[in-house]
Structure 1
Amino acid sequence: MRVFFVTLLFLYSTNELLQAKEYEIKSARELAALDLKAGDKVILKAGDWKDQKLVFKGVGTEKDPIELIAEKQGQVKLSGRSSIEIDGIWLKVDGLLFTDGYLEKGDVILFKSNSNNCRVTNTAIIDFNHPDDKIDYKWVSINGSRNRVDHCYFKGKKHQGVTLVVWLSENPNYHQIDHNYFGPRPELGRNGGETIRIGTSTWSFHDSGTVVENNIFDRCDGELEAVSVKSGKNIIRNNLFYECRATLTLRHGNDSEVSGNYFLGNNKPGTGGVRIIGENHKVDNNYFQELTGTSVSAAISVMAGLPNPQLTSHWQVKNAVITNNTIINCKEPFAIAAGYKAGRYLPALNTTFAKNIIIGKEEPLKWYDDKVIVAFRDNCVSGPTGSAKLPEGFKLKDIRMERTNFNTYKIAGRKKIIPFWTREKVGPQWMKASVDYQVPVNTNRN
C-alpha cells in the first residue's frame, strides 16, 4: 500500500511539472485572461506596449516560480500610462523598460500587499515624468514580504514622490534591494524627492528588516535624503554614493546598520554622508572622500534632538556606535549636535566614536553643542589640523595615502580593496552598450 501511494505521489508531481506552460502575449488583456500555475512562463512580445496596465497574478513556488519576461530584454517598451502590479507568490518579472510616459497617480511598479518572495530584475524606468512636477506617484512601491528588486536601472525622476519606497506592516517584511543603478535625480526643491525610503514616520517604531546593498546612487540630489530610513532593523551596506548632495539618513526608527558604503563627493558642492537620528544605530567601516557638506550634510552627522518628540520629529540620538570609518579630505568629517537650535537641543547620549581614521586639512570635529559627551577611543588624525583642540581618544599620525585606479585612496603598504561596482554586475545586462554610466560599472558578471 505504501509503495502505491509513493508511486501515486510521484506521478502526481510529474504530471504537475508537465503541466507548466509557456505563453506569448501582446497585451495586458491577454495577461489578465491567463490562469497561471507554478512553473508557467509568460513571454511579452517585443514592441511598444502603450497604455498597458499589467496585472501579474499567480502562486508559484521557490523551485518553480511563475515568470513574466520580455521576449528580448529591454525591447518591451511600456510607454504612455503603462504600469504593472505584482500580486502573488514566487513571481518574477524580467527585462522590461518603462519610458516615454507618466502616470497621474499610483505606482509604475507595485508589489501588492499579499506579494511574497516576488522579484523584479533587469528592468528599467527612465524619465517617466509627469509634465507637472508636483504630481506625486512612485516608480516602485514594495508591499508584502521578502520581495526583491535587483539589477535594475532608474534614472531621471524629477516629479514629486519617492523613486522606490518600502511600505510597512505589523510584521517585518525583509525585502532585498540590490545591484541597482539609481541614476541622477535633480533637486526637487522640497520634501518628497528621496531615492529610497524605507517606511514612514508614522510607522517608524515598526521593524522592516530590509537590506539595501551593492547599489550605485549616482548624483541623487532630489532632496536632503537620498536614502531615508524610517523604520527599524535595516541594513544599508556596500553601496556607492557618487557625488550625491543628498545623504543616507537614519531619520526615524532604531537599530539599523550602515556599513561598508562608499561616499565619493569629488568636491562637488554640498555632497554629504551619513546622518544619525534615533537609537542603537551602528555606522562602521564606511569610506568618505572629498565631501563638502557641513552640519546635517557632514561626512558623519549626529543630530540634536527635540524634547517630547512627535513621530515626525527629530528624536534624540542614543547609543550610536561609529567605528572603523575612513574619512579623507572632507570639509566637516564629524558634526556633533548638528541642527542644534532653540527647541532642538537634546544631546546625543552614550555615543561612541572609535578606531576611525580622519585625513585632511580640516578640523576633524565640529561641535554645534559643546556640552555633548562622546566616548572617543583609538582614532587617528593625519594632516595639518588643530591638534591642540582634540579631546582624548585621538592620536596624530603621519598616514601616507596612495591613489587607486578606482578613484579612491588606500593606506600605503596595505592591500588594495577592489570595490563592488567593478567586480559585480550592477544594473541590467542589456543596458551595457546603451548607457554612459558616470562611474565604471561592471555589466558582465552575474
Structure 2
Amino acid sequence: MMKNYNSLIWGFLLFNSIGFASCAASNVDEVVKQTEQVPQNLDKVYTINSAAELNALTLSPGDKVIMKNGDWKSQQLNFKGRGTAEKPIILVAETKGSVILTGNSNLKIEGEFLTVDGLSFKNGFSVKDDVVIFTKTSSNCRLTNTNIEDYNPTDKTVDYKWVSLYGTNNRVDHCSITGKTHQGTTLVVWLDDKANYHRIDHNYFGPRPDLGVNGGETIRIGTSTYSMNDSYTTVENNIFDKCNGEIEIISIKSGYNKILNNLFYECVGTVTFRHGNHSEVSGNYFIGNDVSNTGGVRIIGENQKVYDNYLYKIAGTSLRASISIMNAFENPALSDYWQVKNADVQRNIIANSREAFVLGAGKDAKRVVAPDGVKISGNYVLNPTTLITILDEPANLNIQNNQAEGVSLSAGFLKLGNDLQLSDGVWQRKSALRKPFWLDVPVGPEWKKDNRSFLFK
C-alpha cells in the first residue's frame, strides 16, 4: 500500500514538472514571438534650441535633428555624423524658412550622408569662417532649401565665401543665395589631388553688384594651384540673375566639369574656362538684353566644348563677346593664360548680339600665342553687329556649316535657312525643341519666392 502511494506521489510530481516545463516553454515562445513583432526602429528625433545642443549630440544613421523656429543669433553649428545612403542624418528647420540664423552664425557639415534642409542665414555676417562649409572629410552631404541673403560685413573688402565645398560627392540644391556685396567668391569648389564630383543644381543666385576688383565670381571650381587636376563638378538648372561681381560669373579652374542648362540673365560677365582642360558649357541661356558688358563664354585651355547654348542680345565685345577664344602666354605659369587647343564650338544660337565670335581675344605684348585647332561648326547667328573678329588667326582653324542672317557672310557661313523657329520666346532648332527649364521646374527653396522676372527685351 505504501509503495503504491509513493508511486502515485512521484507520478503526480512528474506530471506537474512536465506540465510546468511545457508552459514555461510556451511562454518563452510567446515572448520571442512578441519581441519579433516589435518594430526594431532605433532612429531618434531630437529637438534643439541652440548650437550647443547640436554640437553635443552623437548621431547615428536615420537620426533627425529639428531646429526650433526663431532667431538663432551668433550660433556656430557643427553638424557631424555618419549616415548612409538609405538612412541619412537630417538637420531640418521646424518650419522651413522660420529658423533665422543671424549675427555671426555659420554652419559646418562634417561626415557622410548628412542633409541640411530649410535654414535661412540673413541680417548678419561671418567673422571667422565661411558661412557654410562642407569639410574636407565630408562626402555625399547635401545643403537644400536654404537661404543665404545679404550676409555682408560693413567693410566690403573683407573676403569670405558664403559656401565652401570641400570633400567629395556633395550637393547644393534648391537654395537661394543672393545679395553678396563684399569681397570673395560666392560659392567655391575647393580641389586637391583627387576629383570631387560635386553637384550644384536648381539654385537661384540673385543680384550681386560689380566689385570693381578680382575675386567676385559667383562660382569658382578649383584654384590655379590645382588647375591641372580634374574636378568632375556639374552645375545645372541654376538661375544666375544679374550676377555682376566681376568678369567671370563662373570661373572653371580644373578639368572635366559640366555647366549645363543654366540661365544667365543680364549678367555682366562670362562663363570662363579660366584654367584646366576637358570641360563643357552646353545648353545654357545667356540673356543680355543689350545691358552693357553682358557676356557669353570665354575659352582658354585644351579640349573645351561649347554646345547648344542660346545667346541673346549680348552687348559685350572682345573678352565679353558671345563666344571669345583667347590668346595665351608663351611659357605660362599655372595662374597665367594657357593656349587654346582643340576648342569645339557647335550648334549655338546667337541672336542680336554685338560680336558673335572673337578669335585671339586679349592679344597683347604677353598674350602672343594664338589658338590651335578651333572648330566652329553648325552654329546660327542672327543679326549681329559683327559676325566674326580675328585678332590673331588660329592654326588649324575649321569653320564650316554655320548659318547667318542680317550680316555679310564670312567663310564657313551660309545664308540662314529654315532650321529655326521661335518657341517659348527663344530661337530654337526645330529638330531639338525644348521648354526653358525655369518655366516649369522649381528653382530655389520651396518656401521662398524671390523677386525675379525674366523678360526678353
TM-score computed with the length of structure 2 as normaliser: 0.89
2:427 aligned partner = 409
2:173 pairs, out of 150, 172, 183, with: 150
2:437 to 420, 428, 441: 420
Output the amino acid matched with 1:437. Answer: R
Contact 2:351–2:384 (8 Å) recurs in 1: no
User: Offset at 1:436?
Assistant: 1.5
Q: 2:333, 2:164 → 1: CA distance? A: 26
SS in 1 for 2:108: strand
Partner letter of residue 20 of structure 1? Answer: D
What is residue 396 of structure 1 aligned with on the other side?
415
Q: Which has the larger radius of gyration?
A: 2
String of CA shifts for 1:236-284, please: whole Å, max 9, x gaps.
1010000001110000000001110010111111100000000011111
Separation (CA, whole Å) in 1 of partners of 2:433 and 2:346: 20
1:37 and 1:400 mapped to 2: Cα distance? 57
| Other-structure match for 2:112 | 89
How far residue 102 of structure 1 moved from its aligned partner, in angstroms, is: 0.4
In structure 1, distance between residues paired with 2:134 and 2:394: 47
The Cα shift of 1:410 comes to 3.9
Residue 386 of structure 1 corresponds to which residue in structure 2? 408
The separation in 1 between residues aligned to 2:279 and 2:431, in whole angstroms, is: 30
Distance change in 2, residues 1:254/1:377 (3 Å):
same
Any gaps of 5 or more consecutive residues in structure 2?
A: 1-31
For 2:277, which of 249, 254, 275 is the aligned residue? 254
Structure 1 position 161, deviation (Å):
0.5
Are the aligned partners of 1:218 and 1:438 in contact in 2 as well (CA < 8 Å)? no
1:320 to 323, 343, 350: 343
The one of 229, 233, 246 equivalent to 2:256 is 233
The answer to whether the 8 Å contact 1:295/1:335 transfers is: yes
Contact 1:105 1:136 in 2 (8 A): no
CA distance in 2 between partners of 1:56 and 1:361 (Å): 52
Are the equivalent residues in 2 in contact too, given 1:334–1:365 (CA < 8 A)? yes
CA distance in 2, matches of 1:284, 1:361: 19
What are the residue-to-residue correspondences of 1:180-259 with 2, within 5 Å? 180-259=203-282
Give 2:368's match in structure 1, choosing from 345, 358, 367. Answer: 345
Contact 2:61 2:89 in 1 (8 A): yes
2:121 alignment partner in structure 1:
98
Aligned-pair CA distance for 1:409: 2.9
Q: Is 1:107 matched with 2:140?
A: no
Equivalent-residue separation in structure 2 for 1:355 and 1:122 (angstroms) = 39
Q: Does 1:437 align with 2:452?
A: yes
CA drift at 1:417: 2.4
**Deviating runs (4+, > 6 A) in structure 1?**
none
- Cα distance in 2, alignment partners of residues 311 and 107 from structure 1: 26
Structure 1 vs Structure 2 CA RMSD: 1.8
Instruction: Report if aligned partners of 1:274, 1:300 keep a CA contact under 8 Å in 2.
Output: yes
- Give 1:298's aligned amino acid: A
How many angstroms apart in 2 are the aligned matches of 1:228 and 1:371? 24
Residues 349 and 427, structure 2, Cα contact 8 Å, conserved in 1: no
Structure 2 equivalent of residue 125 of structure 1: 148
What is the Cα deviation at residue 402 of structure 1? 5.6
CA deviation string 1:105-136 (max 9, x = no partner): 42100000000000000001000001000000
Aligned residue identity for 2:261: N
Match of 2:16 in 1: none
| 1:186-206 superposed Cα distances (whole Å, 9 cap, x missing partner) | 001100100000000111011
SS state at 1:366 partner: strand
The residue correspondences of 1:291-330 to structure 2 (distance < 5 A) are 291-330=314-353
Check 1:118–1:394 CA distance in 2 against 1; reply closer, same or farther (3 A cut): same
Residues 359 and 394 of structure 2 are in contact (CA less than 8 Å); yes or no, is this contact kept in structure 1? no
Mapped partners of 2:93, 2:314: distance in 1: 41
* Aligned partner letter, 1:241: F
SS at match of 1:296: helix
**Equivalent pairs: percent with the same residue?**
50
Task: Give the distance between the partners of 1:408 and 1:324, measured in 2 at CA.
Answer: 14
CA contact (8 A) 1:39 1:66 kept: yes
Q: CA deviation at 1:386?
A: 2.2
The one-character-per-residue Cα deviations of 1:63-90 (angstroms, maximum 9, x if unpaired) are 0000000000000000000000000000
- Give the unaligned 5+ runs of structure 1: 1-7, 441-446
How far is 1:369 from its partner?
1.8
Could you give the per-residue CA deviations for residues 6-43 of structure 1, whole angstroms, max 9, x where no partner exists?
A: xx9xx99x98x621100000000000111100000000
Please state if 1:20 is matched with 2:60: no
Residue of 88, 103, 108 corresponding to 1:80 = 103
CA distance in 1, matches of 2:97, 2:203: 15
